Structure 1
Amino acid sequence: MSSSIRKPGLAEISPEWTEFAKHVQVPPLLGDPVELRKMKFPQDDSPPVGFSIKQIPVPGYQGWTNQARIYTPDVRHTTRAIVIYVHGGGWTVGDLDTEDAVCRTMCKSSGVIVVSLDYRKAPENPFPIGLEDVWAGVLWVFDNIESLGGDPARVILGGLSAGGNIAAVLTQRARDTKKVTSCGQILRIPLVVHPKAQPAQLDFSSYEENANAPILPSASVTQFLGYYNAPPEDTRVSPLLAKDLSGLPRTYIQIAGADPLRDDGFAYAEKLQQAGVSVKVDVYPGLPHGFMMLPLATSRRSDEDLVKAIEWMVEAWLVT
């Protein structure tokens, strides 16, 4: 994989981004949480066609009431695969609107039920509160999977950035519990190891190469981890450090070239493969963290790649 995918020059800003940035100013994610929460990505307010959307309260951690947004295809099946999705935002910002667009795409294009789970944010609610809110939501999905119309053998956990971190952690937890099964995990531009706990033998040069990258410079990663306040070597924030990755389901990882977290994706893909896990990786050279949430041609391609990956994960259930 290192020779075929981890190519030099991935951090060189792409012409597509250079042209986009001439017309749209996207400030770096640096600052006070209150100010950061005022920043919004474009939203899709169009009525759903071919599927329905509803938002309901679900149990959170330690008695808190969380929110879930459920996307269900109109065409009835006996049961459907379910994607449990966790939005990004450095464990600090974001809500169910943040990645509504990709949840719509997954539901409409893949024919899956999508359950998008919110969670409480740091620093007001530091580690592990948000993580455990999502886990409580995952357990709720399995307790109610029949009424949702889902198949417990075809459940995928996924998310973007901090949401991808949470998905990676909980996929490991799911493997170790009889309460939850998973046929796949979607990790879009994830952090999988705290910078202070990066194994010395692995290459994390992406932090240096992308120190001043658009959207998420390296200082932003440090900032958000400070808000989250997780112990660096705790596998609930650094799933790369887990001693055993065997037995995990098919894994799909999206990696942005101009992203400090680029090498997190490569490192996790390589370690999963060494443990015998089936892994697919798509790399988007020269594009910054979170690019897929903006109106770019490559954003559309990344959504198409995601849909193909979901089909690949669901196929795993058919051949086992």
Structure 2
Amino acid sequence: MKTIQSLFFYSFAFLLIFSCQSDDDALSQPGLDATTYYQELNVSYGPDGDQKYDIYLPANRNMDTNVMILIHGGGWSAGDKAEMNEVKDALLNEFPNMGIVNMNYRLADAENGPYPMQLNDITTVINKLKSDQNYYVIDNDFGFIGTSAGGHLALLWSYAFDISSDVSMVCSIVGPTNLADPFYLESDIPEIQGLIALFVMDASVAYLEEVSPLNRVTASAPPTLLFYGGVDPLVPVSQGTDLHNKLDNLGVTNEFTLYPNGGHGWIGPDLVDTTVKLKAFIQTHFN
């Protein structure tokens, strides 16, 4: 699992193309100079060492400057925001007026499941950005791009946790959407069993449905962009097609792309197609 995802991240990154400050310090200082570019790495948003994000803000920004949040993959139990750095760089190049937050979140283990822990981390980041809106000089309008497990988290938060309708778009690249799928429940593949075991602290199907974006999406969901591979060993095609069909039935704006020869990630012409479609979707729904 980790090897497959690492290959995906590196191929995606290759072709898809300062210090910490306390909350009290940020709130006590006047707003940043919005005429200049600003970045801050490893901003702490909680007591855990994994609760950090990097923020990149464009020059000449204003209170209408949107912020895209990047969420890395890693099977909910591994990975790091550094894996999304090349994605961040590509976005900064293509959308120089956009703010970007590249976040880490607490990783799951045998005693700490992904749900709701990792969703709570996203909520904390959103709330911090909103409370520091005047300091950073940004809008409270957010988008998500998540890969693999990060795609699942981006979808689930956007569909079930965004009570203030702060999300304008969400993109999931090979993100699982239905953990109650027999593909997961009946799998004899150790890697798949290990992933599902992170969630099955309550072994009921109802619990797995609760943590599945497919079962939490409503007609108020934000525009959604989905990318899946036809030979993905970890996320079957049905994870994408079922959500796409449900979004259509609900009348939610969405785009779905299946790469028949793609696995848990892809390279070459398919990846070029992904970048073109992602750019167009952002321009339409977020720029």
Q: Say whether the fold is shared (TM-score over 0.5).
A: yes
Work out which of the residue numbers 133, 138, 141 in structure 1 matches 2:129. 141
Whether 2:254 is the aligned partner of 1:254: answer no
Residue 147 and residue 248 in structure 1: after superposition, are their counterparts in 2 closer, same or farther (change >3 A)?
A: same
Residue 287 and residue 185 in structure 1: after superposition, are their counterparts in 2 closer, same or farther (change >3 A)?
A: same
Q: Take 1:291 and 1:281, find their aligned partners in 2: how far apart are those partners?
A: 16
Work out which of the residue numbers 277, 280, 284 in structure 2 matches 1:305. 277
Cα deviations by residue, 1:116-148 (Å, 9 ceiling, x for unpaired): 110111215323222322221122122223333
Q: Could you tell me which amino acid in structure 1 is paired with residue 156 of structure 2? A: V
Counterparts of 1:150-299 in structure 2 under 5 Å?
150-152=138-140, 154-175=141-162, 177-178=163-164, 181-194=166-179, 197-198=180-181, 220-229=191-200, 231=202, 232-234=205-207, 235-242=209-216, 245-259=218-232, 260-291=235-266, 296-299=268-271
Q: Could you tell me which amino acid in structure 1 is paired with residue 283 of structure 2? A: E
Residue 146 and residue 307 in structure 1: after superposition, are their counterparts in 2 closer, same or farther (change >3 A)?
A: farther
Q: Take 2:136 and 2:256, find their aligned partners in 1: how far apart are those partners?
A: 30
Structure whose residues are more often helix by fraction: 2
Q: Take 1:181 and 1:68, find their aligned partners in 2: how far apart are those partners?
A: 19
Whether 2:106 is the aligned partner of 1:120: answer yes
Which residue number corresponds to residue 106 of structure 1?
Answer: 91
Residue 273 and residue 251 in structure 1: after superposition, are their counterparts in 2 closer, same or farther (change >3 A)?
A: same
Identical amino acids, percent of aligned pairs: 19
Structure 2 unaligned residues grouped into runs of 5+: 15-35
Q: Take 2:134 and 2:276, find their aligned partners in 1: how far apart are those partners?
A: 29
Once superposed, what is the RMSD of the aligned Cα atoms? 3.3
TM-score under structure 2 normalisation? Answer: 0.76
Is the 1:207–1:218 Cα contact (8 Å) retained in structure 2?
A: no
Q: SS at the partner of 1:69?
A: strand
Q: Could you tell me which amino acid in structure 2 is paired with residue 256 of structure 1? A: G
Q: Take 1:237 and 1:222, find their aligned partners in 2: how far apart are those partners?
A: 16
Q: Take 2:185 and 2:153, find their aligned partners in 1: how far apart are those partners?
A: 21
Is the 1:189–1:255 Cα contact (8 Å) retained in structure 2?
A: yes
Q: Take 1:226 and 1:262, find their aligned partners in 2: how far apart are those partners?
A: 22
Residue 185 and residue 230 in structure 1: after superposition, are their counterparts in 2 closer, same or farther (change >3 A)?
A: farther
Is the 2:61–2:138 Cα contact (8 Å) retained in structure 1?
A: no
TM-score under structure 1 normalisation? Answer: 0.69
Which residue number corresponds to residue 23 of structure 2?
Answer: none
Is the 1:89–1:161 Cα contact (8 Å) retained in structure 2?
A: yes
Q: Take 2:125 and 2:201, find their aligned partners in 1: how far apart are those partners?
A: 21
Is the 2:178–2:212 Cα contact (8 Å) retained in structure 1?
A: yes
Displacement of 1:110 after TM fit? Answer: 2.4
Number of matched residues?
254
Structure 1 unaligned residues grouped into runs of 5+: 1-27, 45-49, 212-216, 316-320
